[in-house]
Structure 1
Amino acid sequence: MHPAAEDSPLGKSSEYIATYTPSLLFPIPRAAKWAELGISAETLPYQGVDFWNCFELSWLLPSGKPVVAMGEFAIPADSPNIIESKSFKLYLNSLNQTAFAEVAELVAVLERDLSAAAGKPVAVRVRSLTEVAAEGVAASPGVCIDELDVAISNYATPQPELLRCDADQRIEESVHSNLLKSNCPVTGQPDWGSVVVQYRGAALDHASLLAYLVSFRQHADFHEQCVERIFLDLLELLKPEYLTVYARYVRRGGLDINPYRSTAAILPDNRRLVRQ
């Protein structure tokens, strides 16, 4: 377990606070997990963003009439802190009985509080349900590898030694799997996700990738660190000219978390997948 997570509200009984309380946000430093992966803030081999989507955002108009909307929060992948998910949910709940004259006022408050917790500027979008519905549901790009026949029996920890590639064959491709599962490091509850790998480099053996992703099944870590581990293991194996790894996780408590990591600047597609 991440040492800072022990002091978070995750896995504990919490009072529902319905009026604005920014102190509910609980930042967790990324540095400890970066060190575990052999990287630091000064040596990050990627750039990217963590997209959080809130499906239960609500507040009051000055008249007292409630509003519901969708919130999108873009946290830089190199921010000093992640924000613990239950504290994020409790904070958003604290807006439920709080009045804002305009959406812009709400956005300004969200950006201020979340940026303070993350340690870097967080971009916020608040959109109507009609606007989000018009975007529809996205599909993961590239080839789905889930029907490949693999055998695996060890799910306790990720196994990068399963990964294989053909160093003599250089290709560019996108592949994805919907079989990613890991566990919350605090509560032990399952986290379900779809992972996408896009790269240009040594040809990755698809069956070995699937076996590797399945090896996360009982691994306990936060969403962000799972994606970073996958990225780093593939970076080491493929020696790619370009690599992007991202995961779209199924929401819990009205929030989904979608970490994107890449060797290049990217414009991520934040439309939801069918399970989200």
Structure 2
Amino acid sequence: MSFASPADSPLGRHTTYADQYDPSLLFPIPRAPQRAQLGITGQPGFFGADLWTAFELSWLNMRGKPQVAIAHIVVPCESTHIIESKSFKLYLGSFSGTRIADPDEVRRRLQADVSAALWQGGPLQASAGVRLIAPDDFDREAVGELDGLNLDRLDIECDHYDAPAPEHLSAAFDEQPVEETLTSRLLKSNCPVTGQPDWGSVQIRYTGPQIDQAGLLRYIVSFRNHSDFHEHCVERMFTDLWQRCRPFKLSVYARYTRRGGLDINPWRTSHPGPAPAPVRTARQ
């Protein structure tokens, strides 16, 4: 499997699309450099996962008839690497002309290949989770919005767009703590390689000093022209909120709109627990 910087990935390059199964197409990118910018070294001080949905998965059965499925893939946040999304799309495309006996074999290959890429030769501490949705169950795939109090209702003035601005974050440390869930559909960042926009919604659950909502919304908007991968944006949000607002518990969950048949939905939490249900938003 390939390993280099994001600039060496297939993202933004002319590509030949393979139709024969090829796990070498997966392009891992280390998490450590971006985490180091946040002061995170070694094991991070949060739990969570990156929740992927693959809408363009197809292969041939042993008689050559095309089969289709939707794949839900759970990438543990403690993995040493993420997988660049275009390489993931190319890898999934390589199944399209490959004869495979049954869907469970597809699932096993996906789990083994993705897990190997995430740890890049290091000890496999946690495997990727893979679940396939058969066509007969497509109509059970839920669509809904993130629950919580919508920050977008606030009529505020915004003027920071080029980089995350944690100075907007504050909390009422001299008042009684609260437990609340806040959401926004105004999250946007840019791909660090191509500059293409990445659109998303974000949900923040916390217990602790009440966070100033207007400042939080300005902070979310400040990502608008920031260039970084989805996973790193959410980790930056979690770290800034944890340091600036000092909650007792915190969860940050973002759902980004799909590109190339893939959506990536990072979730980071201060306390271990079940991952959010894979309910896609209307924009996804």
| TM-score interval, smaller chain | over 0.9
Tell me the alpha carbon deviations over residues 196-253 of structure 1, each in whole angstroms, 9 at most, x when there is no partner.
0000001011111110000000000000000000000110122111100010000000
Q: Which residue of 2 aligns with 1:34?
A: 35
Shift of 1:168: 2.1
Q: Which residue of 2 aligns with 1:271?
A: 279
Q: Which residue of 1 aligns with 2:142?
A: 136
What is the letter of the counterpart of residue 201 of structure 2? S
Is structure 2 residue 277 aligned with structure 1 residue 255? no
Q: Which residue of 2 aligns with 1:171?
A: 178
RMSD between aligned alpha carbons? 1.1
Q: Retained in 2: the 8 A contact 1:59–1:96? A: yes
Q: Which of 204, 211, 235 is equivalent to 1:204?
A: 211
What is the letter of the counterpart of residue 202 of structure 2? V
Tell me the alpha carbon deviations over residues 125-176 of structure 1, each in whole angstroms, 9 at most, x when there is no partner.
1112342421421221110110201212221100000112111231000010
Q: Please, which moves more after superposition, 145-154 or 87-96?
A: 145-154
Q: Retained in 2: the 8 A contact 1:192–1:250? A: yes
Q: Please, which moves more after superposition, 55-64 or 118-127?
A: 118-127
Q: Retained in 2: the 8 A contact 1:46–1:263? A: yes
Q: Which residue of 2 aligns with 1:180?
A: 187
Q: How does 1:143-158 map to 2 (within 5 A)?
A: 143-158=149-164
User: In structure 1, how many angstroms separate the alpha carbons of the residues matched to 2:277 and 2:131?
Assistant: 14
Shift of 1:49: 0.5
SS at match of 2:195: coil
Is structure 2 residue 94 aligned with structure 1 residue 87? no
Q: Which runs of 5+ in 1 are unaligned?
A: none
Q: Please, which moves more after superposition, 121-130 or 174-183?
A: 121-130
Question: Number of residues paired by the alignment?
Answer: 273
Tell me the alpha carbon deviations over residues 45-90 of structure 1, each in whole angstroms, 9 at most, x when there is no partner.
1000001100111011101110111011100011000000000000
Q: How does 1:16-95 map to 2 (within 5 A)?
A: 16-42=17-43, 44-95=44-95
Q: Which residue of 1 aligns with 2:122?
A: none
Q: Which residue of 1 aligns with 2:102?
A: 102
Is structure 2 residue 245 aligned with structure 1 residue 244? no
Q: Which residue of 2 aligns with 1:12?
A: 13
SS at match of 1:178: strand
User: In structure 2, how many angstroms separate the alpha carbons of the residues matched to 1:74 and 1:132?
Assistant: 19
What is the letter of the counterpart of residue 26 of structure 1? F
Q: Retained in 1: the 8 A contact 2:70–2:133? A: yes
Q: Retained in 2: the 8 A contact 1:37–1:229? A: yes
What is the letter of the counterpart of residue 262 of structure 1? T
User: In structure 2, how many angstroms separate the alpha carbons of the residues matched to 1:96 and 1:203?
Assistant: 50
Q: Please, which moves more after superposition, 135-144 or 254-263?
A: 135-144
Q: Retained in 2: the 8 A contact 1:180–1:192? A: yes
What is the letter of the counterpart of residue 266 of structure 1? G
TM-score between both structures, scaled by the size of structure 2? 0.94
Q: Which runs of 5+ in 2 are unaligned?
A: 120-125
User: In structure 1, how many angstroms separate the alpha carbons of the residues matched to 2:149 and 2:221?
Assistant: 17
Shift of 1:265: 1.4
Shift of 1:266: 2.3
